[in-house]
Structure 1
Amino acid sequence: MTNPSLPAAPPPVPTLLFLDVDGPLIPFGGTPEQYPDGYPTYRPARRLRVPESGANPLLPRIDPALGPRLAALACELVWATTWMDEANECVAPWLGLPDLPVVHWPEPAPDDLPGGPGVHWKTRPLVDRAAGRDFVWVDDEVTDADRRWVAEHHPGRALLHRVDPHHGLLDADFAAVEAWLRS
């Protein structure tokens, strides 16, 4: 039985999912042996808000079926891409997603090192953005150096999941993220 004089517990803070575009959503770098007819292409989930002529020519490589799968994850999606606001202008509508929060990357100072040898330039800004919250980072450039740096500098839980850029997000990637979110 609850005590009506006590305030209700605050709702849990959702895990953040930082999502890159090039590599996870737009596959690239596959060989002719892997894709003899080129990469598969798709149509957007809904009508784009920008004219087709103004859209990025690589957008048709994004499978719109990824949108509902991403939206169904038990987390808060955040664009963590050099596309920045363009991800909401082009990619979100392609996937049938609403506008998402965007990481705006800071301009690095000349003596501003990202965290040490091998640490990706996105790593420290993402840890700063997470501000102690649990997070997943889905990118094709994540390395063990990034994982070590995050483990040393982030008080919350973090999954840094590397996606093979030749194929983009696959069922196995979703399974790994979903299992981590449930754990």
Structure 2
Amino acid sequence: MQRKPILFVDVDGVISLWGFVQDDPPPGAYASVDGILHFLSATAGEHLLALREHFDLVWCTGWKDRANDYLPHALGLPEPLPWLEFGAPAERTAHWKLDAVTTYAQDRPAAWIDDAFDESCHAWAAERGAPTLLVATEPPTGLQAAHADALRAWAAALPRTG
């Protein structure tokens, strides 16, 4: 049986939006997370639900396991997701999430949606032996239909194995 590719999902700037004009917010609502207000996208949940058909979703966020305390219910996801534990990067020049992403992904195809990629992320993606896609979001709007469409198209174009 063929395994689905992994989709690493950041939260801040992807699901929890910020930096938008307060008088003209995107669709969404404020939610209290550990006493801190976060503006959660009204559409991110439906996009993630649809992407579950094509990907194994994994939280890739500083929220770590707390993402499961708040987000599945708020986004309409049917169950908690696996999540990454981050340590200090092995290289001081590497993005702080790269070691955990690399370890979890191993040799599986992987996509990663985040608002804060740097050059080390792009170099990692280009050098990986498995198919890899980085999808950058903008914090005021987060995960949009165009991002979800690009992710589905990428997953559909992967070579079939198994």
Cα pair distance change 1:103/1:161, threshold 3 Å: same
Question: What is the CA distance between 1:163 and its match in structure 2?
Answer: 0.6
Query: Is 1:177 aligned with 2:157?
Result: no
Deviation per CA, 1:52-102: give whole Å up to 9, x if none. Answer: 6855411xx213432232122110110000001110001121001110001
Of 78, 92, 98, the match for 1:123 = 98
Match of 2:83 in 1: 102
Question: Higher relative contact order by CA 8 Å / sep ≥ 6: 1 or 2?
Answer: 2
Query: What letter corresponds to residue 45 of structure 2 in structure 1?
Result: G
1:12 aligns with 2:2: yes
Structure 1 residue 155 and structure 2 residue 105: aligned? no
1:1-183 aligned within 5 A: 11-30=1-20, 35=21, 37-40=23-26, 42=28, 56-58=36-38, 61-73=39-51, 74-97=54-77, 98-106=79-87, 108=88, 112-114=90-92, 117=93, 119-152=94-127, 154-183=128-157
How far has the Cα of 1:43 moved from its partner?
Answer: 5.3
Q: Which runs of 5+ in 2 are unaligned?
A: 158-162
For residue 142 of structure 1, report the CA deviation from its aligned partner.
1.4
Larger strand proportion of the pair: 2
C-alpha separation in 2, matches of 1:40 and 1:142: 23
- Whichever of the two has the greater Rg, that structure is 1
With structure 2 as the length reference, what TM-score do the two structures score? 0.83
Runs of 4+ off more than 4 Å: 52-55
